[in-house]
A and B are shown apart, each in its own frame.
Chain A
């Protein structure tokens, strides 16, 4: 994603903001077509913003302040430039949760932004949504078959039928907006 000021290669002159947006859209489109998929179908990537999974209209970027401690929410990534939401597959749904920063270990902190951590929202067992937080067990539980994942241990399976960890996805802050700092750590959805 292009975050710095773009300069015309030939003249090294700054490009006006309107032109810059056109270029950004074109770059995003080319990147997606190289992958053979539309933006909606393509995987979340670094620089993406996040929007509530059921939001309608032009996406509004989620901020760290939008989350409450211990209350998971579901989101999709969207391309900052094109505003296209990567919701072509529910396997791309992201679960965001805010925890007390003091509870995060160093590894988790590296992936977190202002106490907010992100995982695939889709259980690796039978593709149900993982969005229930059990405070006393510090576990996320899948409502379908009760697999418990440990978000403070990189999504490791603590119990239940799933055999793979819940994929993580790193976050950072730009201003107060939550921004993806990478993509999923592993394939999302069910299957070994």
Chain B
């Protein structure tokens, strides 16, 4: 179909009043990203290993009940606010749905500058959100929903370059925060429901020139190409929509991949490499150095996009450089990362899963109950739900408690109707393969009655494979986790708009506050002039709201969780 587009990709830099002043900007180097100072939060999860951990401990389990608002900031935007406030030497950067990037004085909350990418009104936004920026050198990088990568001067907001990464008219769109390492800015594109061929692409941080692009479906003639029938890999999904983790010692970036497309399995026979996998990519070349597929030939929309957390620990008494991932498939996967391979170590079921009948102890390959694989003949119910035991919301690891924290949803299932027998690909349209009303109304309870609890924060000891504590919520939970050196776990994610702190060692609730909207933003911590801050965006929307609609349909309720992005920064009362 022919679309005539005008004024696309025009960017507007909104001049600020400049009545606030942040301190001098400190360039972000590979060394700083590899060994981040405790007082800043330089990247998506605070460090390359993806821990979501701040060593700061002035706010701790003994005084967290004295937290109060230092300042707050309304973004003026609705929909899902999920980006972490990235902090460097007094400069803070948040992003909003609709591809806005806002620079803020991290001490006072004053707006320094704002960048708005003009998005075509023609653009269909299936997931209106943005998950944050990357910092590198003297620039800040944001990837936009219309599949562009933009580099800006971190201090002034002046655009240095803009590159088209994908084709939004083919419904390639970007929601993730870029990953910066060794002079490259890496991104990928969403589109598991629109028939994209997933990829990770790297751009030169200075020039914006594309350095490499690695596709995440194995094409005909490539290694793994025989795991797809016919031409199905070309529209096979395996999209990339959450930031990768990175091991500087091996120069490998670890990226989780999404579901294969379309959903019905009869249309893409084989294991469908590298969907629902983790890929280890050489950052210099983009070459695939290793992979592990969590569950081959996905039939349940269980994207495994969260990159594994890189934790050097012991497993059953043996030292292992692990890569740990709480799967959407409901299993906690412990893998070993080497310079050229990813090996299976162990797995633990952490929420109800009635699909897997076992996991091979050597390879980690799960076997399936054939009656739980949706097909073309009849509706099939399975657990966990389409959103899985844990969707994109990031886990966390605390090196002091040595516990791994999972924001989980338990006791939920889905029922898909009979699949379409044929699903022709049409550029710019959905590529799912099930009647849409059946997908929208797919949520089911595990049993006949509503469960007493759904959302959970689980704490696991990876070394022993034991669940140490669990906090259960009466409602579902979509809260990214922050853990700190103060023996704390922070998370929101529930529809009552609460943002909470727990004792990281035993899970005891210690503090909570009611936010302006539901919190699905990634929390962070930073320090200025010896004062520790906790920062998080509220802004309900997207899949948390979709799950709310599903729960309401089952209960006959209409729950209104107010929308609107507000960044709130907390500090201890004096």
Contact = CB atoms under 8 A, between A and B. Distances in A.
Nearest to B125: A126
B1 A189 contact: no
Given A41-B4, A90-B3, A141 B126 contact: no
A87 B122 CA distance: 12
A144 B426 contact: no
23 contacts: A38-B4, A40-B4, A54-B426, A88-B2, A88-B3, A88-B4, A89-B3, A89-B4, A90-B3, A126-B128, A127-B125, A128-B124, A132-B435, A132-B437, A134-B437, A141-B436, A141-B437, A145-B545, A145-B546, A146-B549, A161-B78, A190-B121, A191-B121
A161 B436 CA distance: 18
A54 B429 CA distance: 11
A82 B149 CA distance: 41
B124 A144 contact: yes
Given A41-B4, A87-B2, A141-B437, A127 B545 contact: no
Contacts of B426: 54
Given A89-B122, A91-B121, A126-B124, A143 B436 contact: yes
A16 interface: no
A132 B436 contact: yes
A78 B259 CA distance: 39
Counting chain B residues whose Cβ lies within 8 A of the other chain, the interface size class is: 20 to 34
Nearest to B193: A143
B4 A143 contact: no
Given A91-B122, A127-B124, A161-B563, 17 more contacts: A38-B4, A40-B2, A54-B426, A88-B2, A88-B3, A89-B3, A126-B124, A126-B126, A127-B121, A128-B126, A129-B429, A144-B124, A145-B542, A146-B440, A146-B546, A159-B558, A161-B541
Nearest to A137: B437
B10 interface: no
B558 A143 contact: no
Interface in A103-155: 126-129, 132, 134, 141, 143-146
Given A54-B426, A91-B121, A126-B128, A141 B1 contact: no
A177 interface: no
Contacts of B78: 161
A126 B127 CA distance: 9
Interface of B: 1-4, 78, 121-126, 128, 426, 428-430, 435-437, 439-440, 541-542, 545-546, 549, 558, 563
A24 interface: no
A170 B435 CA distance: 28
B1 A54 contact: yes
B549 A127 contact: no
B350 to A, nearest CB: 29
B123 A127 contact: yes
A161 B563 CA distance: 10
Interface in A26-72: 38, 40-41, 53-54
Nearest to B4: A88
B128 A87 contact: no
A134 B435 CA distance: 11
Given A53-B1, A90-B3, A159-B558, A143 B430 contact: yes
Given A54-B426, A132-B436, A159-B558, A144 B125 contact: yes
A90 B426 CA distance: 14
Contacts of A88: 2-4
Nearest to B441: A134
B122 A90 contact: yes
A128 B124 CA distance: 5
A158 B273 CA distance: 42
Nearest to A85: B2
A127 B123 CA distance: 6
Nearest to A127: B124
Contacts of A89: 3-4, 122
Contacts of A128: 124-126
Contacts of B125: 126-128, 144
Contacts of B558: 159
Contacts of A145: 542, 545-546
Nearest to A128: B124
Contacts of A87: 1-2
A132 B440 CA distance: 11
A144 B78 CA distance: 16
Contacts of B2: 40, 87-88
A123 B125 CA distance: 10
B545 A90 contact: no
A134 B438 CA distance: 10
A63 to B, nearest CB: 22
A82 to B, nearest CB: 15
Nearest to B428: A90
A127 B429 CA distance: 12
Contacts of A161: 78, 541, 545, 563
A155 B340 CA distance: 57
A129 B124 contact: yes
Contacts of B1: 53-54, 87, 90
A190 to B, nearest CB: 6
A72 B78 CA distance: 30
Contacts of B3: 88-90
B178 to A, nearest CB: 23
Nearest to A188: B121
A146 B544 CA distance: 13
A141 B121 contact: no
Contacts of B122: 89-91, 127, 189
Nearest to A90: B122
B387 to A, nearest CB: 14
